[in-house]
């Protein structure tokens, strides 16, 4: 409960800091190519594919969780160096 309160305070502080910026509702077009539409279409295709072949969807979720673990590990190693928890002695 205390962690939730601290995270809410952090979100409110960030919202106050960036409140003067305009709201972004769509991504811009780059060289007459609609990035927002392409991403929406791609995510729709991926969702349809993973609903059709549901075992691959489960594997993709596992892959996503594994990649999130590695990203967090890299970020921790970048910010706190050798004090980051890791396997082995390196």
Q: What is the pLDDT of residue 19?
A: 87
Q: Which tops the pLDDT comparison, 9 or 27?
A: 9
Pairing of strands 29-30, 33-34: antiparallel
Look at residue 50 and tell me whether its pLDDT is greater than 70.
yes
Q: What is the pLDDT of residue 74?
A: 87
Q: What is the pLDDT of residue 88?
A: 58
For 30, the 3-state DSSP assignment is strand
Confidence tier at 23 by pLDDT (50, 70, 90): confident
- CA–CA dist 63, 33 (Å, integer): 30
- The domain locations on the chain are 56-82
pTM: 0.55
- CA–CA dist 34, 55 (Å, integer): 32
């Amino acid at each position: 409960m205390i962690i939730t309160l601290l995270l809410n305070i952090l979100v409110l502080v960030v919202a106050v800091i960036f409140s003067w910026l305009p709201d972004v509702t769509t991504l811009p077009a780059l060289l007459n190519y609609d990035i927002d539409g392409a991403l929406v279409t791609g995510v729709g295709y991926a969702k349809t594919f993973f609903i059709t072949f549901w075992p691959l969807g489960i594997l993709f979720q596992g892959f996503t969780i594994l990649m999130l673990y590695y990203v967090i590990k890299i970020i921790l190693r970048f910010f706190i160096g050798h004090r980051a928890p890791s396997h082995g002695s390196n």
